[in-house]
Amino acid sequence: MARRNASSSSGGFLFKTGLFAALAGLAYFLFNQFGGNKIGGPVDERPPVVLEDKSVPKSKVSDDSTFVTLEMLPVSKAETVLHTWFALGYNEDHEQAEWVAYELTRARLNENWAERPNSFRPDPDVRTESATPRDYSSSGYDKGHLCPAADMAFDVRAIDETFYMSNISPQRAPFNMGIWRELEELARDWARKFKRLYVVTGPVLTQGSLGQIGFSKVTVPGSFYKVLLAPDQQRAIGFIIPNQISDQPVMTYACSIDEVEEATGINFFPKLLSGLGEELEASLDRDAWPVNQNRQNQRVKQWNIRR
C-alpha cells in the first residue's frame, strides 16, 4: 500500500513538473510573438524589407546597375561611373566629365517623352564628389548637358539622371542654345535614320580653357566635342566646336575620330574600331550624315539672336 502511494506521489510530481514546463514554454512563445522583440535580435538589427523597383525594366542584363553597352566606352584615365542608361568618365581636376557615352536609338526616341525634371544635383556615384549647382550660380554660364535630357526622355529614371552635375559642363548661353542644340537635334535625326548610334561627347579639357567657376573650381572648356558611330552602317564622324556663338554650318566643325582623339587624349571605341575599323576612324565622309538646312536657318535667325 505504501508502495502504491509512493508511485502515485511520484506520478503527480512528474505531471506537475511537465505542466509547469509546458506553461513556461507557452509563455515564452507568446512573449516573443506579442510582447517584445522577436527572436533574432532587436528591431533595428532585422534586415530591411526590400521593395521591388518597378522603374527599372526587367530586361537589364549587362549588370546590376546599367544598360550601357560596355564595349562602346572610351579609354581614358578618368573615373568611370555607370548610370542606368549612360556612362561617364569623371575628371576630378576639372570637376566635370571628360566623356559621356550612351546609345541613341530610333525606338527610344519614338517613346512618349517623360517630363523634364530640372532637378540639378551632385552625383552620388562619383567617388571624389562632383560639382554642385551652386558652382554655376551667377557665373554667367549655362549648366550645359553633355548627354542631353531629350536623348533620355524615353524613361523617367533615364532623364532624371541626366541632371546629375557630373553630366553638366559650363557652356556659354548662345553656344548651348545655338549650335550645340542643333548638333544634338541632328544626332537624333541620324539615330532615327540609322536606327541606332553610339554617342560619346564632352568638353575638350586639354587646351583652351576659359577659366574656372565656383567654389569647386569647375573648368570652363574652350570647346566641346561629339563623336558618333553608326555600327550597323559602319559610319563615323566627329565634331569639335568652340564654346561660343556661331553662324557657321555644323559641318564646318566636322572632323575624323582620329582628330578628336588627338585633341582630347581619349581613345574612342577601341574595341569596335580595331583592325579594319581604324580606316573608318581616320576617315571623314560628310555626305554620309545629311543635315537639315531649315534647322541651321532657325539657329542663325532665332536661337542665336534669342540668347
Residue boundaries of the structural domains of the chain = 2-41, 70-306
Quote the cell numbers at residue 34.
506579442
Quote the cell numbers at residue 100.
559621356
**pLDDT per residue as tens digits for the range 220-268:** 999 999 999 999 999 999 999 999 999 999 999 999 999 999 999 999 9
Q: Which helix (H) or strand (E) holds 202?
A: strand 196-203
**pLDDT per residue as tens digits for the range 10-40:** 444 444 445 555 555 555 444 344 343 332 3
The residue among 179, 146, 167, 147 whose CA lies nearest residue 302 is 179
pTM of the full predicted structure? 0.79
In CATH, what class is 70-306?
Answer: alpha beta
Q: How far apart are CA 178 and CA 253, in angstroms?
A: 14
For this structure, is 94 an active site residue?
no
CB 257 within 8 A of CB 268: yes
Catalytic: which of 145, 172, 196, 226? 145
Helices and strands, number each (H, E), in the chain: 9, 11
Q: Alpha carbon of 248 to those of 16, 175, 224, 244, 245: distances in Å?
A: 101, 12, 16, 11, 9
List the chain pLDDT tens, one digit each, 307 residues.
333 344 444 444 444 445 555 555 555 444 344 343 332 333 333 233 222 333 333 233 334 578 998 999 999 999 999 999 999 999 999 999 999 999 999 999 999 999 999 899 999 999 999 999 999 999 999 999 999 999 999 999 999 999 999 999 999 999 999 999 999 999 999 999 999 999 999 999 999 899 999 999 999 999 999 999 999 999 999 999 999 999 999 999 999 999 999 999 999 999 898 876 789 999 999 999 999 999 999 999 989 876 5
The b-or-e profile of 195-222 (16+ CB within 10 A means b, else e) is: ebbbbbbbbbbeeeebeebbebebbbbb
Give residue 263's Cα distance to chain centre: 24
CB 38 within 8 A of CB 32: yes
